[in-house]
Every structure is written in structure tokens, then in C-alpha cells.
Amino acid sequence: MASVKLSSCVHHSVRKPGSVPGSSNTCFLKTPPVHLRQKFTALSVVREESNTSILHQEEAQSRLSFDFMSYMIGKATSVNQALDSAVSLREPVKIHEAMRYSLLAGGKRVRPVLCIAACELVGGEESVALPAACAVEMIHTMSLIHDDLPCMDNDDLRRGKPTNHKVFGEDVAVLAGDALLSFAFEHLASTTGVAPARVVRAIGELAKAVGSEGLVAGQIVDISSEGMDSNDVGLELLEFIHVHKTAVLLEAATVLGAIVGGGSDEEIEKLRKFARCIGLMFQVVDDILDVTKSSEELGKTAGKDLVADKLTYPKLMGLEKSKEFAERLMRDAQEQLQGFDSKKVEPLLALANYIATRQN
């Protein structure tokens, strides 16, 4: 197993958009070495030791009383209703059936809830954030449909159901993903009721996140890295893949919420850093679950990364170091939320904890 050094997502290398580790357009911030001496037995938002707690005691106590499940259910219900209304069953029926099959198949709705929570944190309302939240979820669903295709990950199971191409065929699945991608921008542009300048900024943010310097960049580097010897691959390359492939949509969801909610540039950038941390943490946890849970527990095929010989954090760092890295990312994420209203920040703190401790 390669020797690796854990890095902070806030202090990690800063690259020009689309640059790949090792290229000439990569620049680096001075990063102090990370020494993790404590063995973490679980991922937790609230640390008991007062000398290592990032949040003030009153904030931690407040979060303990926050009803996270009710919040998630309420927001997810709003998102599901909005998605159902936006992508109604209409002509041509076949393509809309395929779009709705994957879009309304359930899921945790983490990205749209992040969008709404960020909007509310900076003073906006749920109704203002819903178009952006739905747009992000449409694009996320597109990425899942395409990711499951035989030419990509070749997966038969998603959210406990047969994947889109298994039900509708590969041709229709490709078109369903394409339709969701284009409609996401139409929906965001035509139904977001805020100042035009903020709508345009949100559209630009989302387009950059999904394009050749965002999600697609992570995907192509991931494909190119399959079968590579872990001894020849650094943590920097793996981080590039997952910052672009996974974290980028969680980041976009959060930033869009802050933009349409009327957040200041400073607030938007703090929330961007928060989302980047939890986005990378999402992938670290996903990699851990892939090797520790069954297909039935995950609702998707377990162990597929191992079979495909893909780069993962457990493969590169080992299971325990991967858990330590996730804990580090949690602390970095918490730091970015300091200074916000202690009550309004509760949903984002709880969402970060949910991502860290999820079991599927």
C-alpha cells in the first residue's frame, strides 16, 4: 500500500479549473503536516473533549435537540413534490417515463436539502431555493443514469431498483439523462424568482460544476486511472477525482442555495469550502461502505469498485486511515460554519454528521 499523507480540504492544493495533479498549471499552498495521534472509533459531529471541540458548547447542545429526521423528511417531501410537478408525465411519454423512473426513485435528497439549508442560512426561503434544488437533483440523477451504463460502471442496481437502462434500454437511458441535464437549466432559468443577476450567476456556477472542468473531469480521470497500481498513484490524484466527480455537485448545491438566498460573497465562499469538505467526506465514506456493507444494505452493488480495480481511499490509504481522513474533513467543515447564526446553522451541521455516519 502506498505511503500517503492526510490533507485538509480547506488547505489542500489550489488548482486552476480543470487542471490535473502534476500539470504545470497546478499551484500549492503551504500546508502544515498532519499528525493524527488519536484513534477514532466512530465518526461524530460533537466531540466530547473540550480541548478539541470546534463548536461552542451551547451550539453543540442546540444541535443535540435539533430534530434532523423531521427536517430531512419535510424538505425531501417538498423536493419530491416539486420534482414530480416539474417533470410531469407528458408527450413523448416514453422519455418522460424514463426520466421520472430515476428522478422519483427515492434517494436521500442530500444535494437539494443542502441547497435549501444554505439558502435559509443566509436569509432566503425554501420556495426561493426549490428551483435550484430541483435542478441539481436532475443533474445528479442524469449522472447516475449515465454512470450505470454498460460503457461506464455497468451496474444493474440503483436505489434498490433495476437501473434505468435495464428497464428502458441503453438508448432511452442515454436520452433520459440528456433530457434531465438540459431541463435542469431550463427549470433553473425560468422558475427562480430572484434578481436576474443572481439567476445568471447560479446558472454559470452549475454549468461549470457539471462540465469538462467539473464532474466530467473527475469522471474521465477516474476512468483513466482504472487498473493503476496504488503504489504509483498519490492521494492528490484520488482527491482530484473525487473533488470533481462527487464533491462538485454537493458544492454546487450549497453555493446555488447561498446565491439565490441573497448571501454575500464572503458567506458564499465559506459555504463553498464547507461543501467541498463534506463532498469529499461523502466519497470517503462511500468508499468505506463499498467494502464494509452488502448490496442489500447499500441498495446498490457492493464491492463494484474492487472488482473494477478502481482507485479508492481504502485501497490507497487503508480502512482505518480512511476513517481518520473522514474525521479530519468533518472538523474542517465545521470550522467553515463558525460565525453563522447558531440556530440557522443547525441543519447544515446535522447534514454533515448524517453524511459522516450514514450506513448506505
Supply the mean pLDDT for the chain: 82
**Confidence check: pLDDT of 227 > 50:** yes
Which pLDDT score, from 0 to 100, does residue 234 have?
A: 78
Q: How many independent structural domains does the chain possess?
A: 1
157-179: average pLDDT: 95
Cis peptide before 92 (omega within 30 of 0): yes
Q: For residue 333, is it within any domain?
A: yes
- We report the CATH number of the domain holding residue 178 as 1.10.600.10
Q: For residue 37, is it within any domain?
A: no
Q: For residue 47, is it within any domain?
A: no
Separation CA 260–CA 83 (nearest Å)? 19
Cell triple for 335: 470550522
Q: For residue 2, is it within any domain?
A: no
Q: For residue 54, is it within any domain?
A: no
**Confidence check: pLDDT of 245 > 60:** yes
Domain extent for 303: 67-357
pTM score: 0.80
Q: For residue 145, is it within any domain?
A: yes
Q: For residue 204, is it within any domain?
A: yes
Q: For residue 327, is it within any domain?
A: yes
28: exposed, middle or buried (C-beta count within 10 Å: 0-12, 13-18, 19+)? Answer: exposed
